[in-house]
Amino acid sequence: MLDAVLSGLDWATRFSDPLAWLVLGAFLVTAVLEATDRREHARLAGVAAWVLFGVFWFTLIYHFAVVQRSVIEGVGTLVAVPASLYVGYLLWSGRDSLFVLSRAILLMGVVFFPFESIPVLRQFLVETVTDQTAVLISLVGSNPELVTGYETVVDGQQVIAYDGYIVGEKHHLYENTFVFADGESPIFYTIVIACTGIGSMAIFAGLIAAVEAPLARKLRALAVSLPVIYALNLGRNVMIAVGFGEQRFHLFPELIMSVFGLSDPRQVSYIVIDRIVAQSLSVVALVGITYLVVRELPEVLTVVEDLLFVVTGSEYDLRAALDLDPAVAEGDPEVGAGAGTRSDD
């Protein structure tokens, strides 16, 4: 029943890209109005931006829940729709700290969408990550072929194929597909923009850039987040490529095929290693990276506390819970050297 309802949302996916730019424009207007002390106008623009953001997530429900078959991303998208509308309501009601989160969303988009929408940037990032993943795969003793493929038409649809086989999830003629020999038909694993880590890096870059704090601490926060995300993402790609390509996670096949609606039993390894193992580990890693960031840049806790309030309806004092120096946590650049403080800010 639920699958049938979600499948009926496929029409909404076509609106996601134009909506993304509209959302960014609305958040940009909000940030400009707030920066020029036109707070009430900024509030109206911010509410509109959050409503549009909720609609944007609605258009992605089918993609994540049905096309990607991702439990974590599918649930996250479903939650994001009412959560975005609720943030708009809270902003309208006077929770002005949400202007920081609004600014962060804008800056996240500024980092992410050029790589998503500008072909030359997307190809550079995807192929760079693919080449680095290939080196790491070879170090663990696996040697898949790295190919580009060719365009062809099948049943009236333009697709990309290799050696007569259609390469799933491949939409561009990039050198970004690993081919693993497996009996009569090969297994393809393609690095796409979602496999580059740019989404997670954009989240942290946006959060760090959005808060008011000394530049030195912002740079330290970037240093403990972006390189770590990039490195962990490469490890994730290797784990998925080898685990799927060499069929190392063919676990509970009947259950997995039934739950995820699979027709090819070889996809079981992919679902287990990517959608279950890797995505679960990613959540744990992002929590750990967030902790490292707030140790360097406690101002980010304002956003984290707001998000917790949206989810739970309760106020939290994470500064006290994490035993952070109050002056540093409030972003005071004049804190001197002393216990729990830094003298180089």
Measured distance CA(38)–CA(12) in Å, rounded: 35
38 given a catalytic annotation = no
Q: Please check whether residue 225 is in contact with residue 197, taking contact to mean a CB–CB distance below 8 angstroms.
A: no
Query: What's the one-letter identity of residue 284?
Result: V
Whether 195 is catalytic is yes
The CB density around residue 75, as the number of other CB atoms within 10 Å, is 12
The catalytic residue among 43, 122, 217, 236 is: 236
Q: In what order do the strands lie in the sheet with 145-147?
A: 145-147, 177-180, 187-190
Kindly write down the DSSP assignment for every residue of 270-315, as one continuous string: HIIIIIIIIHHHHHHHHHHHHHHHHHH-GGGHHHHHHHHHHHHS--
Identified catalytic residue from 69, 195, 217, 220: 195
Q: How far apart are CA 338 and CA 58, in angstroms?
A: 49
Helix (H) / strand (E) element for 328: namely helix 326-329
What letter would DSSP give residue 197?
T
* Selection from 86, 100, 16 nearest residue 47 by Cα: 86
Q: Is 72 strand, coil or helix?
A: helix
Tell me the catalytic residues: 195, 236
